Structure formats: C-alpha cells, structure tokens
C-alpha cells in the first residue's frame, strides 16, 4: 500500500501486494461482482443469501428493474448477471441484447418462471450462459454460478 493506504499493483498480471516486507508479498484474490436483477425483492434476497453461502468473495449488487440493471451494467464491471426475464422497464432479454449491441460482454444466467423452449433458445442465441426455470433448485443455481465463474477450475 502507498502512504495513503491504496493497494499497489505490480506489472505483469498485476497482483496486488502488501509491500511492507519483500518476503511477505501475496496476491489478493479479487471478489466476483454479481448482479441479481429481479422485480421480486424476496427472490433477490434469497439468491443473494444462497450465493453468500457459496463464497464470501462475492460482491452482490441488486436491481429491481431492467432499467436499473442496464444502468448499473453500463457503468460498472460485473463478472456475472443473474437476470429475470420479466421485469419492469426492460426484460432480461432486452438488457442482454442492448449490452451485446454496445459490445459489452457480460456473462448472464437467466432465471424465469417462463423458461419455455422459445425463451431458452432466444436467450442462448443472445449469449446467455444458461436459462433456469423458477423455482430454481439451489444446487442447480450454485452449480451454474460455479461453472460460469470457473470457480471449480481455480
């Protein structure tokens, strides 16, 4: 850290170090930032709690509408977006399509009570990593999040 307490980045793959002692320099693992966008507050909180049980290194951000999700995604780096298909403002599919048009690659998992074959095909065509049907089984959601974030490979 510098005199102001800011972590220092090293060249190369830029791990963050604590330069207090050259022997005591360890890379700090960054947190994965995950956006949960769903108009159902209880569902968002339940998913946030489920993800917190999977890893303490997750930073969870919540949005209650497609518009709020899109604004956040345009302004902040996100490692994974969990999008409901039907939200006020923009659907999850519209959010993903707009991001793709803007050349922003954001891994997305759709979670919807309306996960028909047609919806599934459209979402996957637009670049979704997975489409899960509500009510989603906790173990399936955990497995998909681990797969998309490549947590098992680490």
Closest CA to 66 of 37, 42, 43, 46: 37
Report the C-alpha gap between 66 and 69 in whole angstroms. 5
- Measure Cα distances from 103 to 37, 91, 95, 131 in Å: 20, 19, 12, 21
Query: pLDDT value at position 153?
Result: 63
Which domains are delineated in the chain? 1-29 (no CATH), 31-149 (3.40.50.2300)
The edge-to-edge listing of strands for the beta sheet with 130-133 is 58-63, 32-37, 80-84, 108-112, 130-133
pTM for the predicted model, two decimal places: 0.77
- What share of the chain in percent tops pLDDT 70? 79
Strands (E), the chain: 8-9, 16-17, 32-37, 58-63, 80-84, 108-112, 130-133
Q: Is the pLDDT of residue 48 over 90?
A: yes
Taking only the tens place, the pLDDT of each residue in 61-85 is: 999 999 999 999 999 999 999 999 9
pLDDT digits (tens, 9 = 90+) for 106-121: 899 999 988 889 889 9
């Amino acid at each position: 850290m510098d005199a102001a307490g800011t972590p220092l980045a090293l060249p190369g793959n830029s791990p963050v170090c604590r330069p207090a002692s050259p022997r005591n320099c360890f890379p700090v693992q960054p947190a994965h930032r995950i956006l949960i966008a769903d108009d159902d507050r209880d569902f968002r909180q339940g998913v946030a709690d489920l993800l917190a049980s999977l890893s303490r290194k997750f930073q969870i951000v919540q949005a209650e509408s497609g518009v709020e999700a899109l604004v956040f995604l345009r302004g902040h780096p996100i490692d994974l977006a969990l999008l409901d298909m039907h939200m006020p403002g923009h659907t999850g599919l519209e959010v993903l399509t707009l991001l793709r048009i803007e050349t922003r690659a954001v891994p997305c998992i759709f979670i919807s009570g309306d996960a028909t074959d047609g919806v599934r095909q459209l979402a996957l065509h637009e670049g979704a990593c997975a489409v899960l049907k509500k009510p989603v089984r906790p173990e399936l959601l955990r497995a998909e999040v681990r797969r998309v974030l490549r947590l098992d490979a680490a």
